[in-house]
Amino acid sequence: MSLRFFKSTFLFLLISVTACGNNSQRTANIPAEGNRKSGTAEATDNLRLGAERTDYFISFLEGKKVGLVGNQTSIIPTEAGHIHLVDTLLSLNVDLQKVFAPEHGFRGTADAGEAVEDGKDPRTGLPVISLYGNNKKPTAAQLKDLDILIFDLQDVGARFYTYISTLHYVMEAAAENGIKVLVFDRPNPNAHYIDGPILEPQHQSFVGMHPVPVVHGLTIGEYAKMINGEKWLKNGIQADLEVIEMENYNREIQYELPVKPSPNLPNSQSINLYPSLCFFEGTNVNAGRGTNKQFQVFGSPFLPGEKFDYSYVPQSNEGAKNPKHLGKTCYGRDLSEHEHLDQLNLEWLIEAYNNTSQKGEFFNTFFTNLAGTKKLQQQIESGQSAKEIRSTWKEGLQEFEGVRNKYILYGE
């Protein structure tokens, strides 16, 4: 029995038990029937992810030294549960050399913004290189002797969700070092709309690197093609890119993620509300971190309890060791049963600003990074309504749609 066979079999058992037995890692919340599109279950059953198409992508990997950009979302559905892509690659005798992990780490348990150290994954023994903190872009030394990089992360379709920023740097490093990139495509759970202000170049940061709206409506594979096609990489270079497309996917599928894409997006409701509630991260309002309803509630000690009848106290928990307003009573709104959104909601942000007792401290500098423009803060402070603000996005969204349409791989 070969060492590789033993390693693969052992890993299969480890990952299968982990995927099927650890309920804390699964998103079991199913949307109410009234929110579910007809035919969704059947369409999802027929869906074949890029990572499932081993018969197609194996030809790119034969005889190659391979690196993987992945985390806990890099899994493949089976009748018995889910198997990690690492196990699949090893079972196919792929020469997998190392793993690169994005924000939150390879196992997806680190806080937002928390430094993740390099090391070895305890379950696989593979070297793990963090692509967060001071090392957001793979170095030439880290890529030495690799022939190809696989990128397989579950995105949620918001500009400030940092997996697309990691994608940018991976493609850029690969292009600079003559390494091919395979992007295994996965559904975007917020693919059903595009919305928000377009990021302005002077406000580029790791939570917004490209001139796109807050909600871009692209799968991770389509987004990779747009980065390449629009020459957004440094000096206009382009990666040797291959997108392993999904089969039987369209944007009418309301896709249920099998695991949390990051610690503070525990279910489908939080993922749907995230593009709207993440703006609170740039304010003195807590967006549910430190509760079991992350990105499904918002609140602040500076909002009046007589007007905001929902209250909670943020506590330290997984993914939020020191949440905003730790141990303090926050008054706000519970949105965990709110209807499914098909556009950004600004009313909650405007309502919180209009009612806070700390207007001068409501916004912080991070808000502009999230919005991608200073205009949104100025519009709210000047008393503009959500409708008035949204009207100023129209021209930018129309221009973006023209760019986006060049890279669509699946039906609208």
Q: What is the pLDDT of residue 114?
A: 44
388 assigned to some structural domain:
no
Residues 12-40: what's their mean pLDDT? 33
Looking at the fold, whether 198 and 313 belong to one and the same domain comes out as no
Residue 49 domain boundaries: 3-244
Q: Would you give the distance in Å from CA 253 to the centre of its chain?
A: 18
Is there a contact between 169 and 131 (Cβ–Cβ < 8 Å)? yes
Going by pLDDT thresholds of 50, 70 and 90, the confidence category of residue 104 is: low
Q: What is the pLDDT of residue 7?
A: 40
Looking at the fold, whether 153 and 240 belong to one and the same domain comes out as yes
Looking at the fold, whether 211 and 102 belong to one and the same domain comes out as yes
Please say if the pLDDT value at position 108 is more than 70.
no
Going by pLDDT thresholds of 50, 70 and 90, the confidence category of residue 18 is: very low
Looking at the fold, whether 217 and 84 belong to one and the same domain comes out as yes
Q: What is the pLDDT of residue 105?
A: 60
Two structure tokens written together for 120? 């070895």
Q: What is the pLDDT of residue 222?
A: 98
408 assigned to some structural domain:
no
306 assigned to some structural domain:
yes
Q: What is the pLDDT of residue 93?
A: 95
Cα separation of 283 and 295, whole Å? 14
Tens of pLDDT, residue by residue over 367-385, are 999 999 999 999 999 999 9
Please say if the pLDDT value at position 16 is more than 80.
no
Among the candidates 205, 229, 244, a domain finishes at 244
Looking at the fold, whether 164 and 295 belong to one and the same domain comes out as no
293 assigned to some structural domain:
yes
Strand 297-300 to 330-334 pairing? antiparallel
410 assigned to some structural domain:
no
Looking at the fold, whether 238 and 299 belong to one and the same domain comes out as no
| Gyration radius (Cα) of the chain, Å | 21
Looking at the fold, whether 350 and 217 belong to one and the same domain comes out as no
Among the candidates 372, 387, 405, a domain finishes at 372
- Count how many domains the chain has: 2
**Residue 213: closest CA among 407, 391, 401:** 401
Q: What is the pLDDT of residue 117?
A: 54
Please say if the pLDDT value at position 34 is more than 90.
no
Looking at the fold, whether 186 and 327 belong to one and the same domain comes out as no
In a 10 Å sphere around its CB, with 0-12 CB exposed, 13-18 middle and 19+ buried, how is residue 390 labelled? middle
β-partners of residue 274 are none
Domain CATH number, residue 112: 3.40.50.12170
Looking at the fold, whether 169 and 295 belong to one and the same domain comes out as no
Looking at the fold, whether 21 and 147 belong to one and the same domain comes out as yes
Q: What is the pTM of this model?
A: 0.87
Two structure tokens written together for 12? 């299969």
277 assigned to some structural domain:
yes
Average pLDDT, the chain: 88
Is there a contact between 167 and 151 (Cβ–Cβ < 8 Å)? yes
Looking at the fold, whether 321 and 237 belong to one and the same domain comes out as no
Looking at the fold, whether 235 and 292 belong to one and the same domain comes out as no
Supply the DSSP symbol for 317: B
Tens of pLDDT, residue by residue over 165-203, are 999 999 999 999 999 999 999 999 999 999 999 999 999
79 assigned to some structural domain:
yes
171 assigned to some structural domain:
yes
**Residue 143: closest CA among 116, 110, 180:** 180
Handedness of CA 320, 267, 133, 75 (dihedral sign): positive
Please say if the pLDDT value at position 294 is more than 80.
yes
Residues 277-289: what's their mean pLDDT? 98
Tens of pLDDT, residue by residue over 213-272, are 999 999 999 999 999 999 999 999 999 999 999 999 998 888 889 999 998 999 999 999
